[in-house]
A and B are shown apart, each in its own frame.
Chain A
Amino acid sequence: MDKLLRVNMSAAGGPKATEEPIGNYAGLGGRALTTAIVSKEVPPDCHPLGAENKLVIAPGLLSGSPAAMSGRISVGCKSPLTGGIKESNSGGQAAQVLARLGYAGIVLEGKPADAEARYKVVINKDGVQVVRDDSLKMLPNYDLIEKMKGEYGDKVACMSIGTAGEMKMGAASIACTDMEFRPTRHAGRGGVGAVMGAKGVKVIVMDDKGLKMRAAKDPEKFKAANKSFVKGLQKHSVTGEALPAYGTNVLTNILNEVGGYPTYNFKQGNFDGAAKISGETLAATEKERGGNPTHGCHRGCVIRCSGIYHDKDGHYLTKQPEYETVWAHGGHCGIEDMDKIAQLDFMDDNYGLDTIEMGAAIGVAMDAGLIEFGDADGAIRLVEEVGKGTHLGRILGNGAGVTGKAFGVERVPVVKNQAMPAYDPRAVQGIGVTYATTTQGADHTAGYAVAQNVLKVGGDVDALKPEGQVALSRDLQIATAAIDSTGMCLFIAFAILDQPDTFQALLDMIGAFHGTEMTADGVTELGKKVLSMEREFNARAGFTKAHDRLPRYFQTEAFAPHNVTFDVKDDDLDTVFNW
């Protein structure tokens, strides 16, 4: 992982791939690398779909090694949805394979002269080919991957865009194939698929045949640390029991119970149909139909929070939908039919759409009266319109913000034009601080529960005081930026939060692998560095503190059942990045 692959789509005579030493970007992985390259090489005021924007793809520091949970891959660019810097990451096989091929990152640059051209980038141990293949045009992801399987077999890993990416929609995702060679894992947020579409690249095929796993500098210490790390994950009740048994959708019941489950486009915090679409019900249904509620999304995953969802006849329908997906297409839209929600999840994967943005946009459309809340078949028709690119579909496919403007809706749950996920910021206000201030637009993963009590970034915080929310959000955003840079799955956070020895095992593992010592202070500095680069990019792109706000109605509309409003002061929000 000491080289970068640059693919210049504007090169004279057609796209050209070149390898170069990683140079000044050495030591960076995942989000740290994508952010460093975008902030240094992309003009912040460029058009996100223009030749000046770059799409950077980077595995993590431990990807391609035997390290457990090291399979996240980061995708960075200037976002066509937010207009700011973007890092969106995904599971699947791509990170492991790309890292074994020796690349710290792929940088797609420029723009093809022929906007109708479609390219595939094929990478293996013998080199890189950029091949024009217009037969791929407007193929949905599942059809595309089936075609790739015919050409390259099912042992490769693919990153691809569906029709939404080709139409350069703001909700377009980049799909990564999973262990079954299905396009079910997505870098979903911020319209990264639209940037890949603007580059004319339909699919990147990565083949690590003949290559070995990456080896640690200190194999014995690495092996021991990995063993301890896995043991820590397996003994923790969240990573060792709840997530494997029920997946992330285990959150539905508890969020609904506390009145923090945004329902009917953020009008109330309780959904009567919650138990019908809960993680508990989902897992039971999967078992009953011969699916599987406990399944990893990439090799080396020991948490296995995903699963396989079958239809009523016992046939594969989609992978186990995540909590945010079930919420976006479920409670947010008043839909309580799990089979329809699973079908919507499949369609999002197939067309290449962010499930959060898509569900949020449909909820806004429902609020506008386009279809009724609870109309599952209507929602399916709307996603079909997006996939086909009808005029209505192009509005919806550009996200909740555009949909709200097109239909004159005031209640549009976006920050920096990116839709909020499944946690109402009036009931859980600390999440609202992160939604408002993150560089990424509303994003629940931007400030995760990562080792706050271990890192104590910025000193001890009195968690019970209201002002503690701002300090905690800052700490969490710093820690999350650092973890995103390692390429580790964020779900390791829970074991790390509670078990300092597991956190130390992670540091030891990274240190032993790279032959350096990694400390908690080092993690903090890395996180701050990443956030500083992102903040600076956004400032140069025109963002001010006025963009670090929730929509006004969160401050003025009381949220049932607790009748609370978001009451963190603007002045306090403006201090989140003071360090």
Chain B
Amino acid sequence: MSLSGDTRSRTSIALTLERTALSLFSPFLQSGIWVRAALPSSVQSFLCDQMGLEPDYVRERILSIVLNGHPVDNTEKALLRDGSRLALSSGMPGLAGAALRRGSPLASFRGSITHRDSAAAGPKQEGTICVKLFNLMMGDLGPGFLARGILINSEAIARFLRQNRALFLEKCRSVQRNEIAIEPATFLEEMADGEEELFLSVIPPPERP
């Protein structure tokens, strides 16, 4: 699946969902979510400048990064383009897990599939990339990506929410479609019809003082 083109013309859905229910979206996070980005961009710039992550966090916490199936060692020189697939992981166990780390002393073990440095970036324009969040990254970064918004096929999200209907209706505080409030139950019913690409954002309700 690939989502690209003019993303701003899509229907936008904003869900307010209790924080404890955000894990409902874990299957999407590990399979891949499509997000808007200014491209081309280095992985480092995307994570820090566009996603707002601290460089220390990226260095110390995101220990394995995979771009289009290739393990990345240098995040400054790995370039995201429209349609790129980026996977983020914490440190993994095992010999393979260690070898797949950025800058691993065992990097030669996977030398045949290592990401080679990309060409220099050109002028930026909006595009989309697929981001996969594995393991600890789901909890760390998932809420941020969901709040920022993801591009998703309406049929996929409808099928998913129907499977978790009771929990969704219990935990969903509000739904806005194109900035107009609708009932969560109505949203579920209408989502079942048709197939379109949506811009979906999911945020938790404000913390009580």
Interface residues of A (CB under 8 A from B): 236-238, 241-243, 245-246, 248, 250-251, 253-255, 257-260, 275, 278-281, 284, 305, 323, 423, 426-431, 434, 444, 447-449, 452-453, 461-466, 468-469, 472, 476, 491, 493-494, 497, 561-562, 564, 567
* A253 near B96: Cβ-Cβ < 8 Å: no
Is B66's beta carbon under 8 Å from chain A?
yes
In the complex, the chain B residue whose C-beta lies closest to that of A246 is: B135
* B113 near A253: Cβ-Cβ < 8 Å: no
* A431 near B95: Cβ-Cβ < 8 Å: yes
List 16 interface pairs A-B (beta carbons < 8 Å), by A numbering: A238-B90, A238-B97, A251-B92, A254-B92, A257-B134, A258-B110, A278-B134, A429-B110, A452-B105, A463-B105, A463-B107, A464-B108, A466-B108, A468-B108, A469-B109, A562-B69
Please tell me the size bucket of the interface on B: 35 or more
- A-binding segment of B26-34, B153-161, B198-206: B26-34
Q: What residues on A are CB-neighbors of B61 within 8 Å?
A: 237
Q: Mark B91-105, 1 if CB is under 8 A from A, else 0.
A: 111111111100011
* B94 near A430: Cβ-Cβ < 8 Å: no
* A465 near B108: Cβ-Cβ < 8 Å: yes
Is B141's beta carbon under 8 Å from chain A?
no
Given A238-B91, A259-B113: A449 touches B106 (CB 8 Å cut-off): yes
Given A246-B135, A275-B30: A251 touches B94 (CB 8 Å cut-off): yes
* A258 near B100: Cβ-Cβ < 8 Å: yes
Q: What residues on A are CB-neighbors of B135 within 8 Å?
A: 242, 245-246, 250, 253, 279-280
Interface residues of B (CB under 8 A from A): 23, 26-27, 30-31, 61, 63-64, 66, 69-71, 87, 89-100, 104-113, 132, 134-136, 138
Question: Which of A243, A260, A452 has a CB less than 8 Å from the CB of B93?
Answer: A243
In the complex, the chain A residue whose C-beta lies closest to that of B73 is: A464
Q: What residues on B are CB-neighbors of A491 within 8 Å?
A: 93
Q: In the docked arrangement, what's the CA distance between A117 and B109, Å?
A: 49
* B96 near A241: Cβ-Cβ < 8 Å: no
In the complex, the chain A residue whose C-beta lies closest to that of B31 is: A275
* A431 near B30: Cβ-Cβ < 8 Å: no
Q: In the complex, given contacts A258-B66, A430-B99, A463-B107, what are 7 additional A-B residue pairs having Cβ atoms less than 8 angstroms apart?
A: A254-B66, A257-B134, A258-B70, A260-B110, A444-B96, A453-B105, A464-B111
Question: Which of A241, A242, A278, A463 has a CB less than 8 Å from the CB of B30?
Answer: A278
Q: In the docked arrangement, what's the CA distance between A340 and B87, Å?
A: 28
* B113 near A463: Cβ-Cβ < 8 Å: no
Q: How far is the CB of A568 from chain B (nearest CB, A)?
A: 10
In the complex, the chain A residue whose C-beta lies closest to that of B104 is: A463
Q: How far is the CB of A301 from chain B (nearest CB, A)?
A: 14
* B111 near A466: Cβ-Cβ < 8 Å: yes
* B109 near A257: Cβ-Cβ < 8 Å: no
Q: What residues on A are CB-neighbors of B107 within 8 Å?
A: 463-464
In the complex, the chain B residue whose C-beta lies closest to that of A250 is: B135
Q: What residues on B are CB-neighbors of A275 within 8 Å?
A: 27, 30-31
Given A254-B92, A258-B70, A259-B69: A427 touches B110 (CB 8 Å cut-off): yes
Q: What residues on A are CB-neighbors of B105 within 8 Å?
A: 452-453, 461, 463, 472
* A254 near B97: Cβ-Cβ < 8 Å: yes
* A430 near B108: Cβ-Cβ < 8 Å: yes
Q: How far is the CB of B45 from chain A (nearest CB, A)?
A: 22
* B113 near A237: Cβ-Cβ < 8 Å: no
Q: What residues on B are CB-neighbors of A423 within 8 Å?
A: 94-96
* A257 near B108: Cβ-Cβ < 8 Å: no
Question: Which of B27, B71, B112, B134 has a CB less than 8 Å from the CB of A426?
Answer: B112
Q: In the docked arrangement, what's the CA distance between A323 and B69, Å?
A: 20
* B94 near A449: Cβ-Cβ < 8 Å: yes
Q: In the docked arrangement, what's the CA distance between A562 and B95, Å?
A: 20
